[in-house]
Structure 1
Amino acid sequence: QDSTRRLSEKEQASIRAQKPIALLINEGTASSAEVFAAAIHDNGRAVALVGSQTYGKGAILHTFPMPDGGGLRISVAEYLTPGLHHVTAPPLPRTGSVIGGGIRPDVQCSSSQGIPSDTGADICV
């Protein structure tokens, strides 16, 4: 049974009337978090993605069990943004190198401070 339904115009207007969202992203933003960031951005819910380019992990992996107890882990699918953009950059022809993956922010803002030593105090910022 399909449990999806389309939102009415009234419901859509109610969502759009909510406060604007600026979402912080950086190179630590990966996988489904990248899809979430792209989804709220592509659907007009986020006014800006702020930070630095995300990691670019758009592969969906599956581990196939092997007879000896090990496993073979391979990519079986990939995430696309609602705008049908790849999260992971495709490999370059001939070299196989991958460059330029991830979600680019609207507002570039580097995080030069690294991981805070006292996250309890810094979480209030």
Structure 2
Amino acid sequence: MRKLGKAITVIILSTLLGIPLTILSLWYQNPPGCEQLCLSEPCLPNACMGGDSLTAGFPFPIVHDDNAGSPVHGWGRIGVEDIQNLNFGAFLLNALFYGVIIIMLFAITKSIFKSVKRSRWLG
């Protein structure tokens, strides 16, 4: 039972450590370079089609651009008003994703330091 509690603690801590990286992932927008709304083909450079085509977050999209709820100058951009469309499940999956990466980096670093310490002790 002790190992299960330790594993749950590690999962919770890694997810909490992944939350800041998840928030930073909102800078990743898909399609990239979408700076204005395009209503008809052909679109100008740096323009994207209307609807829910603009998303933010990596690897899973967390926020979708909501043209109906955004002010006119916010169409085609992710803004504060789009946070109300937050996909909480994708947010937690992204936090877990980044948390697992953090735990893997800690484990690899710990393993490297252990092997260096052991080689110095033997040599």
State whether TM-score is above 0.5.
no
Say which structure, 1 or 2, has more relative contact order (CA 8 Å, 6+ apart): 2
Higher-Rg structure is 2
Between structures 1 and 2, the one with greater helix share: 2
TM bucket, shorter chain: under 0.3
Superposition TM-score, scaled by structure 1 size: 0.23
Superposition TM-score, scaled by structure 2 size: 0.23
Between structures 1 and 2, the one with greater strand share: 1
